[in-house]
Amino acid sequence: MNIPHILLSGIVGSTAYGLAHAGSDVDRLGVFAAPTQTLHGLHRPKESHVGTAPDRTFHEAAKWCRLALRGNPSATELVWLPEELYEVRTALGDELIGIRRSFLSARRVRDAYLGYATQPVRRLESRSAGSLSEDLRRRTAKHARHLKRLCHQGLELYATGHLTVRLEDAQEYHAFGDRVAEDATVARSLLRYYENAFDEARCVLPQEPDEAAVESWLHRVRAHFYAPEAARTR
């Protein structure tokens, strides 16, 4: 996979959360910049590069910004990683980390994190614990762990404006996953708890993200990777 101009990349997913076990995949996420002149031709460059072995997802700068502005949890965590999990950090990548709060807004964070959490609840409720194969039990427990993680991290971001990617007590999340594998109604109860917690929390986020700061950063990216025709033909 040939990815141009990587600005920022790091290890995300279960390894970043502290939920990984022996044999877990190591997921990587990154932001890259397409050469600016390629954005003006007949055929636009790919906005995402996704690969396996190793598992990697890289989004073009503008696409990553759109995802983060919508509160997408997977995109958002990239700019909140612990220092040691970054594998590529350029000056523009550091600038992106520096404006990470500009992407946040009350409604979008709430809708995104609770919305992503609701999806696995519906899948979990469709499964009967007594009929689960061992493989499906493992996947059920995994989905439940990430449901709890999304709710916890979303509420933290909503109430404090900060996201802690590494979970404080990984065993608590593993135990919750095991409980849901035995009784799927536990997942619905957790979701209701966090819906109420969001309702009662004092939100510190603005109603709208600071798109001007994001736009300014993206313009700097485009200027940096613009190569005028004269310069390229010398």
Bigger pLDDT: 44 or 114? 114
Cα separation, 129 vs 176, whole angstroms: 14
> Domain extents for the chain?
6-103+210-232, 106-200
Q: Which residue has the higher pLDDT, 227 or 35?
A: 35
Give the C-alpha separation, 228 to 37, whole Å: 8
How is residue 165 written in tokens? Answer: 């990617």
Which pLDDT value is given to residue 132? 65
Number of Cβ within 10 Å of residue 180's Cβ equals: 30
Mean per-residue pLDDT, 222-230: 81
CA distance linking residue 8 with residue 32, whole number of Å: 7
Would you state the pLDDT for residue 220? 98
Report the pLDDT value the prediction gives residue 127, as an integer from 0 to 100: 62
Q: Which residue has the tokens 């995104």?
A: 112
Q: How far apart are CA 78 and CA 181, in angstroms?
A: 29
In terms of Cα–Cα distance, which of 110, 138, 131, 133 is closest to 195?
Answer: 110
Over range 222-229, report the average pLDDT: 86
Please name which of 165, 176, 168 lies closest in space to residue 17, comparing C-alpha atoms: 165
What integer is the mean pLDDT of 138-167?
94
Q: What is the mean pLDDT of residues 156-177?
A: 96
Residue (of 234, 222, 155, 153) closest to 5 by Cα position: 222
pLDDT in tens, 92-135: 999 999 999 999 999 999 999 999 888 777 777 776 555 667 78
The answer to whether 73 and 153 are in contact (CB under 8 A) is yes
CATH number of 6-103+210-232: 3.30.460
- Tell me the average pLDDT across 141-165: 95
Q: What is the mean pLDDT of the chain?
A: 91
By CB neighbour count within 10 A (0-12 exposed, 13-18 middle, 19+ buried), where does 152 fall? buried
49 has which bridge partners? Answer: 58
Q: Which two tokens stand for residue 96?
A: 């992106």
Q: How confident is the model at residue 25 (pLDDT cuts 50, 70, 90)?
A: confident
Length of the chain: 234
| Whether the Cβ atoms of residue 149 and residue 156 lie closer than 8 Å to each other | no
